Structure 1
Amino acid sequence: MDKAKIERLHTDLLTAWNKQDATKMGSLFTDNGISIGFDGSQYNGKNEIETEIGIIFKHHQTADYVWKIKDVRLLHSEVATLSAIVGMIPPGQKDINPAANAIQTITAIRQNDVWKIALFQNTPAQFHGRPEMVERLTKELNEQIKK
C-alpha cells in the first residue's frame, strides 16, 4: 500500500510538471524539502520550489516527462526512496530527446499519514562513453509512450 502511495507521489510530481502547475509541485514537498534539478539548481523549501518552478513555467515552454519507476524501497515505516528513469519530449515533437534522459531519486517521508518529498534529485543519464546505454534507456522510455 505505501509503495503505491510513493509511486503516486512521483507520478503526481511529474504530472504537475507536464501541466506546468508549480503550486501542485510545491505542495508535494515537505516544508523544508529540497529539489535538485537536471542542471544542478537547488531549491530549498516547498515555497522556494513553487516560486522558482513557477518562474521557469512563466518563461519557458517546458518539455513533457515520460517515466518509468524502477524501484521503491521502504527504509523505515516513515521513510522511503524511489528511483525512476525519465525522458523528455520537447514541445511540438513526438520523440524523446536522449540528451535530457535522467535518473530521478526521491526520498519521501510520511507526515501525518501523508507521504511528502523530502529530497528530489534529477541526475542526467548521459552514460559518458557508453552510447548503447543511452539508446537502451531511451528505448525503454519509448515503450512507456506506447502504453
Structure 2
Amino acid sequence: MRRYRSILASILALVMVCLVSCGSPQAATPPAYSPTQLEIVKQYEGNVIKQRDRMDELEQFIVNRDWLNVGTFIHGPLGDLRRDMGYVSRNLSGKTQKTASKTAQDLFVHFETIDAAASAGNYSLAVQNYAEAIQDFDAFLSLIPKA
C-alpha cells in the first residue's frame, strides 16, 4: 500500500508540474510603440497635418498657372515637410516604418515633378502629380498610429 501511495504521489506531482509549466496564461504582447515614440510622432504629426491642410493653396497656384508661386510654395512652406515626415516615419514600427518612408519618398518625387512642371509651364503634368501627391499624403497620414 505504501508503494502505491508513493507512486501515486509521484504521478500527481508530475501532472502538477506539467500543468503549471504548460498551462500558464499566454504572454501579453508588448505595446507596438513606446510612450517616447508616440510623443515624437504626435509632436510632428501636427506639423504634417498643417502642411496637408495647406495643399489647397498649392492646388490654387497650379489651377491659376501661377508657376512662380508653385515653386515658391514647394520650397517655402513645404520645405520642412521632409524633415517632419522623416521624424514621424523613423518612430513607426517595422513594416509600417518602411511603408511610411516609401510613401514619403513618393510624395517628394511628386513635389519635384510639380516643381519641374511649373518651370516648364506644363499644366497637365502639374495637375496629375498634384493628385498623386494628395494620395501619397493621405496614405502617409493613415499610417500614423491613433493613440
Query: Aligning the two structures, in what range does the TM-score lie when normalised by the shorter sequence?
Result: under 0.3
Richer in helix (by share)? 2
Question: Which structure has the larger Rg?
Answer: 2
Structure with higher RCO (Cα < 8 A, 6+ apart): 2
Richer in strand (by share)? 1
* TM-score with structure 2 setting the length: 0.28
